[in-house]
Amino acid sequence: MEIIVKDLTFTYSKKTKSLAFRALSGVSLNVKEGEIFGIIGKTGSGKSTFVQHLNGLIKVQKDSGSIIIGDFDLTDKKCDYKLLRAKVGMMFQYPEHQLFAETVYDDVAFALKNFAPDLTEKEIESRVREAVTITGLNYDLIKEKSPFDLSGGQRRRVAIAGVLVAKPEILILDEPAAGLDPKGKREFLELLLRLKNDFVKTIIIVSHDMNLVAEYCTRAAVFMGGEILATGTPKEIFSDEMLIEKSGLDLPLTASLTEKFKVKGVAVDSDLTVDGFVESLCRALKGGKI
């Protein structure tokens, strides 16, 4: 499913003039199937408002642009949001805070029971097993446990299993690695790659972590003040000095190293992933004077 957003504008408290706040203005964006798309920008730049549009949690306001996702036209009044939300999964910041059920099994099965009420208990069980297992948890050990007895990292896995169980084609992650320790973070990102290969087709990541964006995203969009400043590959974005200055973004480690090497006279031209950076650094050093 391709995502096509045209000229999207959104205003909070539209009716009360004195409190109206325009969170998005004229945002246009295409995300193709198979991408890992990054959405970056400072707090309050409209990122969250934007992604919440993509599964109809925020409805497109009248005469404020359009969103088409696969066969769904989100400006259409008859749009089936429930079906859309099954196809476009969304994981909020600190998703472990939304766990509520008595057992891990019940919590993970929640989405499935909502989206596909006709499934038999056996089918539900096998889907839940699949979703929990792919997050790297031991299903048989954990299924009867209370989610509140788990560790932070485990809880987050349960929460993401609760989204994955509906088998969404597009997965939206809002700050997926926030609040995890380094090990948890690494494992979580590995999980993300695993998902991308055989579970979901498209992933959209909202993040402040530029290293994550540079390492994993095929493309990214920079938000500022409710507008998109630029869209492009991490390399295009992070090598645009004017853009970085204007948007106040951090550089990923690979990009700042590239700059430092450039000052020293070594031109490293990579895609800004760690492996790519090391590769082209070696090439530059071997071929160069040093």
Partner 1 sequence: MRDLSFGSYFPAISFVHKMDARAKILIAVAYMVAVFLVTAFHFLGFGACLLFVLIATIAAKVPFKLVLKSIKTIIFFVVFSAVLQLFFNKSGTVVFWVITDVGLLNAGFIIARIILIVLGASLLTLTTSPVELADGIEGILYPLKWIKFPVHEFALIMSIALRFIPTLIDETDRIIKAQKARGADFESGNIFKRAKALIPVLIPLLISSFRRADELADAMDSRCYAGSKNRTKYKKMHFTLRDLLGVILVAGLIVGIVFLNNFYLLSELATIAGAL
Give the span between the Cα atoms of 259 and 3, in whole angstroms.
34
User: Is 268 a binder of partner 1 (CB under 8 A)?
Assistant: no
Q: Of how many residues is the chain composed?
A: 290
User: Is 238 a binder of partner 1 (CB under 8 A)?
Assistant: no
Q: Applying CB under 8 A, which part among 87-95, 133-141, 193-201, 250-258 lies near partner 1?
A: 87-95
How many residues in the shown chain lie near partner 1 by CB under 8 A?
Answer: 30
Q: Applying CB under 8 A, which part among 98-106, 223-231, 248-256, 258-266 lies near partner 1?
A: 98-106
Using the structure block, give the residue that is written with the tokens 């402040």. 208
Q: For residues 183-217, b (16+ Cβ closer than 10 Å) or e, as one string?
A: ebbebbbebbeebbeebbebbbbbbbbbbbbbbbb
- Candidate residues 111, 160, 212, 217; the one interacting with partner 1 per rule CB under 8 A: 111
- Candidate residues 52, 75, 231, 233; the one interacting with partner 1 per rule CB under 8 A: 52
CB of 235 to partner 1, least distance (A): 32
* Residue whose CB is less far from partner 1, 154 or 270: 154
Give how far Cα 86 sits from Cα of 83, 89, 138, 225, Å: 5, 6, 25, 30
Which sign does the torsion angle of CA 257, 233, 167, 147 carry? Answer: positive
- Candidate residues 86, 158, 229, 249; the one interacting with partner 1 per rule CB under 8 A: 86
User: Is 22 a binder of partner 1 (CB under 8 A)?
Assistant: no
User: Is 176 a binder of partner 1 (CB under 8 A)?
Assistant: no
* Residue whose CB is less far from partner 1, 52 or 233: 52
Give me the sheet containing 66-69, strands edge to edge: 21-31, 3-12, 66-69, 72-73
Q: Applying CB under 8 A, which part among 94-102, 127-135, 216-224, 270-278 lies near partner 1?
A: 94-102
User: Is 92 a binder of partner 1 (CB under 8 A)?
Assistant: yes
User: Is 57 a binder of partner 1 (CB under 8 A)?
Assistant: yes
CB of 39 to partner 1, least distance (A): 16
* Residue whose CB is less far from partner 1, 116 or 230: 116
CB of 92 to partner 1, least distance (A): 5
Instruction: Supply 92's token pair.
Output: 């909020």
Q: Please give the angle made by the CA atoms of 47, 49 and 55, to the nearest 5 degrees.
A: 110
Q: For residues 248-277, b (16+ Cβ closer than 10 Å) or e, as one string?
A: ebebbebbebbeebeeeeeebebebbeebb
Give the span between the Cα atoms of 42 and 121, in whole angstroms.
44
Give the span between the Cα atoms of 159 and 15, in whole angstroms.
36
Instruction: Supply 196's token pair.
Output: 């991308």
Instruction: Find, among 264, 277, 166, the residue nearest to 215 by Cα.
Output: 277
- Candidate residues 7, 12, 26, 140; the one interacting with partner 1 per rule CB under 8 A: 12
CB of 14 to partner 1, least distance (A): 9
- Candidate residues 115, 225, 227, 278; the one interacting with partner 1 per rule CB under 8 A: 115
* Residue whose CB is less far from partner 1, 13 or 151: 13
Q: Given the rule CB under 8 A, which residues bind partner 1?
A: 12-13, 15-16, 18-19, 52, 55, 57, 82, 85-86, 89-92, 95, 97-101, 110-111, 114-115, 148, 162-163, 166
